[in-house]
């Protein structure tokens, strides 16, 4: 709790201090309750003032009045405005249950009236011109707060030094909290077999490779990162040297890597799901575009705050909080965090390395995050806006059949399963694969995880049970035409045969309303695997035989460059283009 109340009072003008930031006024703000089915509240604090008075106070340094004048009015004036403020819990933001401050300025009497908003205060509805903004509230990591204040505002600013001992301790707290309290996350298993090769880091300066032969049990940590080109150190024919003598850390890039011989690679690729799914923890280096960059000693910006304002506790004690605009679409990391803009979000291999692990420490471009199947949280109780990345539904991690649940999927779970796979397909094809032959391999672990739920046959990226629907994949509207790769990697009827973003809008529920699909019958479909040890990986060839009706269509181009298959008066199907 800051002891200098006069300094805190100086954050706002006398009018604001005596109204909205009085003990009674601020408690009324905090007591706001959302109205069900309405973008408004049943309570909150409101007051009327003059617009010119707000502008004068803002010019004189009142942080609250500055907020009210944004966006700026094109005209001044002596007209009356009504200001309303309330807080409610934001269930999408972590820490869970944190308060979001909503501010409405009703300027319906303004001569310019540039904005329109509608909300509810008390028993009446405020419907008119004005602004409606939402803000996250948080405090500094360094501020001295008593226990009473911590109960009301738990969220902190970002921790930007992610390599300090304190950061490691905070990350460990997140990990232990997940293991103890998250019932939706699987507990670590002590009886899992270690991967065939692990690195013994007992001596961090001279780590050694341990060949387990798949016979040793214990906990292990996996690493996910962007290679970024050829690596300076690999373990192939010289692996015995690293086993006996250890590895000289001066030969390693900033991000540790380990590559295998082709024969061993095929064997290990078949274990990708097991390796990442059973890891005690995964270190996810999301912020680095290559292993040469490193991820610890890099500049990370502190969150941009819109204002610092007083905060009144119920007992009258006063502190201060920072507020930052919610749902800020600015891509700069000092305002908001967008997972899709991280270097790892552009690499195909990193998708399954993100989705399969039960728990990960994510070294992001803004701070260090803890990610699990329940939540994504910034370390140190730092404010963490809703994650923009998709998390797979829990049923995908609940195998059916031998060793799993005997309960069949419900109708709702079947829909969730199908939607999750289509989402994976889209998220994966957005990313790049530097080695064309890895197109199916880099998604094999996720495909195997889906297989464990439905036990369906995987056919070069498509599923036998929904094959007719899966064949309706198409490149997305906004993507350009992509030529077929020179080297074969999948049959032409598979999305894996081309580059570019792929998706489909067709779900099983729509099949009954599409009689034209029912007119087709699959006579035969099979693929030849490149390696029997990787049943969800690379294929050598594929065969598909269909029985159906032929229709005459025309190939048409429009003025914006899109190409369609069309039957005049019946339908038009886009092949590519916008």
pLDDT classification of 182: cutoffs 50, 70, 90: very high
Which of 174-188, 196-210, 243-257, 531-545 bottoms out in mean pLDDT, i.e. has the lowest?
243-257
**DSSP assignment of 79-142:** -EEEEEEEEEE-TTSBSTT-EEEEEEEE-TT-SS---EEEEEETTEEEEEEEEEEEEEEEB-SS
Q: Which pLDDT score, from 0 to 100, does residue 513 have?
A: 55
Res 319 pLDDT > 90? no
Res 292 pLDDT > 80? no
pLDDT classification of 202: cutoffs 50, 70, 90: confident
Average pLDDT along the chain:
80
- Select the more confidently predicted residue: 122 or 526: 526
pLDDT tens, position by position, 124-166: 344 445 577 888 888 887 655 555 566 778 888 889 899 999 9
Give domain limits for the chain: 5-138, 165-301+335-391, 415-547, 548-578
pLDDT classification of 111: cutoffs 50, 70, 90: low
Which of 153, 167, 217 is CA-nearest to residue 1? 153
Q: Which residues are bridge partners to 101 per DSSP?
A: 87, 135
Those residues with Cβ within 8 angstroms of residue 43's Cβ, 6 or more apart along the chain or in another chain = 28, 31, 32, 33, 86, 121, 122
Q: Which long-range contacts (CB under 8 A, 24 or more apart) does 251-256 make?
A: 253/290, 253/291, 253/292, 254/288, 254/291, 254/292, 254/293, 254/294, 254/295, 255/223, 255/225, 255/285, 255/288, 255/290, 255/291, 255/292, 255/293, 255/294, 255/295, 256/199, 256/223, 256/291
Res 412 pLDDT > 90? no
Q: Which pLDDT score, from 0 to 100, does residue 560 have?
A: 62
What is the average pLDDT across 531-546? 94
Q: Which pLDDT score, from 0 to 100, does residue 78 have?
A: 76
Q: Which pLDDT score, from 0 to 100, does residue 180 have?
A: 96
Q: Which pLDDT score, from 0 to 100, does residue 143 have?
A: 54
Q: Which residues are bridge partners to 524 per DSSP?
A: 545
- The DSSP bridge pattern shows strands 281-285 and 359-363 to be parallel
* Distance separating alpha carbons of residues 166 and 169, to the nearest angstrom: 5
What is the average pLDDT across 547-559? 80
What is the average pLDDT across 317-339? 77
Res 45 pLDDT > 80? yes
Q: Which pLDDT score, from 0 to 100, does residue 567 have?
A: 74
- Select the more confidently predicted residue: 228 or 367: 367
pLDDT tens, position by position, 428-454: 999 999 889 999 999 999 999 999 998
Percent of the chain's residues with pLDDT above 90:
36
- Select the more confidently predicted residue: 51 or 152: 51
> Where is mean pLDDT largest: 90-94, 230-234, 337-341?
337-341
Global pTM?
A: 0.82
């Amino acid at each position: 709790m800051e002891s200098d109340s006069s300094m805190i009072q100086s954050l706002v003008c006398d009018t604001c201090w005596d109204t909205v930031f009085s003990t009674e006024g601020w408690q009324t703000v905090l007591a706001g309750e959302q109205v069900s089915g309405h973008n408004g509240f049943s309570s909150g604090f409101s007051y009327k003032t003059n617009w010119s008075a707000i502008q004068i106070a803002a010019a004189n340094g009142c942080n609250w009045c500055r907020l009210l004048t944004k966006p700026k009015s094109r005209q001044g004036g002596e007209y009356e405005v009504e200001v309303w403020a309330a807080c409610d819990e934001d269930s999408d933001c972590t820490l869970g249950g944190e308060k979001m401050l909503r501010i409405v300025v009703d300027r319906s009497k303004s001569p310019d009236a540039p904005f329109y908003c509608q909300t509810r205060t008390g028993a009446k509805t405020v419907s008119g011109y004005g602004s409606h903004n939402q803000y996250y509230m948080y405090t500094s990591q360094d501020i001295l707060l008593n226990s009473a204040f911590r109960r009301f505002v738990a969220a902190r600013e970002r921790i930007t030094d992610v390599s300090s001992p304190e950061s490691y301790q905070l990350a460990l707290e997140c990990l232990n909290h997940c293991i103890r309290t998250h019932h939706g996350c699987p507990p670590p298993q002590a009886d899992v077999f270690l991967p065939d090769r692990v690195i013994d880091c007992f001596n961090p300066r001279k780590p050694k490779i341990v060949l387990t032969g798949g016979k040793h049990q214990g906990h292990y940590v996996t690493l996910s990162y962007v290679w970024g080109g050829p690596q300076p150190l690999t373990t192939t024919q010289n692996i015995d040297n690293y086993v006996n003598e250890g590895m000289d850390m001066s030969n390693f890039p900033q991000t540790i890597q380990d590559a295998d011989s082709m024969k061993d690679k095929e064997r290990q690729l078949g274990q990708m799901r097991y390796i990442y799914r059973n890891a005690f923890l995964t270190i996810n280096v999301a912020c680095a575009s290559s292993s040469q960059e490193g991820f610890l000693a890099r500049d990370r910006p502190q969150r941009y705050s819109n204002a610092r304002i007083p905060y009144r506790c119920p007992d009258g004690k006063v502190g201060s909080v920072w507020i930052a605009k919610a749902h800020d679409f600015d891509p700069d990391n000092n305002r908001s965090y967008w997972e899709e803009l991280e270097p790892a979000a552009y690499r195909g291999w990193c998708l399954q390395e993100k989705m399969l692990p039960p728990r990960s420490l994510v070294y992001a471009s803004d701070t260090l995050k803890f990610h699990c199947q329940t939540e994504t949280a910034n370390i140190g109780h730092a404010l963490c806006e809703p994650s923009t990345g998709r998390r797979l539904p829990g049923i995908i991690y609940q195998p059916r059949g031998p060793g799993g649940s005997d309960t069949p999927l419900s109708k709702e779970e079947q829909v969730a399963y199908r939607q999750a796979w289509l989402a994976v397909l889209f998220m994966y094809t957005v990313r790049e694969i530097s080695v064309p032959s890895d197109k199916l391999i880099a998604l094999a672990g996720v495909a195997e995880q889906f297989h464990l739920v439905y036990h369906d046959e995987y056919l070069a990226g498509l599923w036998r049970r929904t094959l007719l629907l899966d064949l309706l994949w198409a490149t997305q509207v906004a993507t350009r035409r992509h030529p077929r790769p020179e080297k074969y990697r999948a049959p032409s009827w598979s999305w894996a045969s081309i580059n570019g973003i792929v998706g489909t809008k067709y779900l099983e529920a729509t099949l009954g309303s599409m009689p034209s699909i029912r007119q087709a019958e699959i006579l035969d479909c099979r693929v030849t695997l490149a390696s029997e040890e990787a049943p969800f990986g690379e294929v050598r060839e594929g065969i598909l035989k269909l029985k159906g009706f032929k229709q005459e269509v025309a190939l048409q181009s429009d003025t914006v460059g899109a190409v369609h298959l069309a039957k005049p008066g019946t339908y038009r199907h886009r092949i590519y283009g916008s």
